[in-house]
Amino acid sequence: MQFNSPRHYPLASPKELSDFLKDVEKRAFKRALYQVRNDESALDIVQDSMMRLAERYGDKPAQELPLLFQRILTNATMDWFRRQKVQNALFSPFSDFQSQAEDADEFDVLEALSVANLPPEFDNPQSNHERAQTLKLIEDALLKLPIRQREAFLLRYWEDMDVTETASAMGCSEGSVKTHCFRAIQSLIKTLTAKGIS
């Protein structure tokens, strides 16, 4: 009796792997920097993650590389925190918020924070200065989030992953991802509103 073999994607070519790593490097560095707050450490984490992907999963289909890399980057970042033994000292607890939120609510809140929705008049020094100040306040607010909230927020809205992909990358349930994102958004709104950003 003959069975049809399952459909397989073609394996990533060396060029596809190289192109993927070049494309993801800057975003990965920024994400790692948000996590560890140190340029050198962030660079080490990203380079280590890229090497792990190439060495262990370079023979995987190109379609699988993004999720594999995000999982490796998450694990490398957590390894860094374990080695440093400073996680509890670096992050302060925030008040509990509602434990679940509808996806629609999350996106509505994100619209309010989205850089893409800032005024488009960036052709004069005053607008550029105000935009730079706003971005700095948003970055500072992100840095103050607890690590798992920040991780979920960056994966969902920086890397544009869906809930299922984020849960896989973080090694947690989809419900946890929604909770982390909701609490992160509530904390960001509270912090930014207090600084006059509506």
Token code pair at residue 139: 């970055």
Domain, as residue range, for 124: 91-194
Q: Where are the alpha helices (DSSP H) in the chain?
A: 14-36, 39-57, 65-84, 87-90, 103-113, 125-143, 147-153, 163-170, 174-194
Based on the fold, state whether residues 42 and 128 are members of the same structural domain. no
Token code pair at residue 38: 């140190």
Based on the fold, state whether residues 155 and 71 are members of the same structural domain. no
How many other C-beta atoms lie within 10 A of the C-beta of residue 115?
9
Question: Which letter does DSSP use for residue 116 in this model?
Answer: G
Whole-model pTM: value is 0.54
Residue 70 and residue 161 in contact, taking contact as beta carbons nearer than 8 Å:
yes
Based on the fold, state whether residues 109 and 84 are members of the same structural domain. no
In DSSP notation, 25-48 reads HHHHHHHHHHHH--HHHHHHHHHH
Based on the fold, state whether residues 59 and 114 are members of the same structural domain. no
Q: Total structural domains in the chain?
A: 2
Based on the fold, state whether residues 32 and 45 are members of the same structural domain. yes
> How far, CA to CA in Å, does 120 sit from each of 127, 138, 162, 194?
9, 18, 28, 24
pLDDT in tens, 23-81: 999 999 988 888 888 899 999 999 999 999 988 888 888 888 998 999 899 888 888 88
Based on the fold, state whether residues 168 and 103 are members of the same structural domain. yes
* 98 lies in some domain: yes
* 106 lies in some domain: yes
pLDDT in tens, 100-159: 344 434 434 444 444 433 444 444 566 556 767 777 787 888 888 898 999 898 888 888
Exposure b/e, 27-47, CB count within 10 A at least 16 = b? ebbebbbbbbeeeebbbebbe
User: How many C-alpha atoms does 27 have within 13 Å on its Cβ side?
Assistant: 14
Q: How far apart are CA 53 and CA 20, in angstroms?
A: 11
Based on the fold, state whether residues 84 and 116 are members of the same structural domain. no
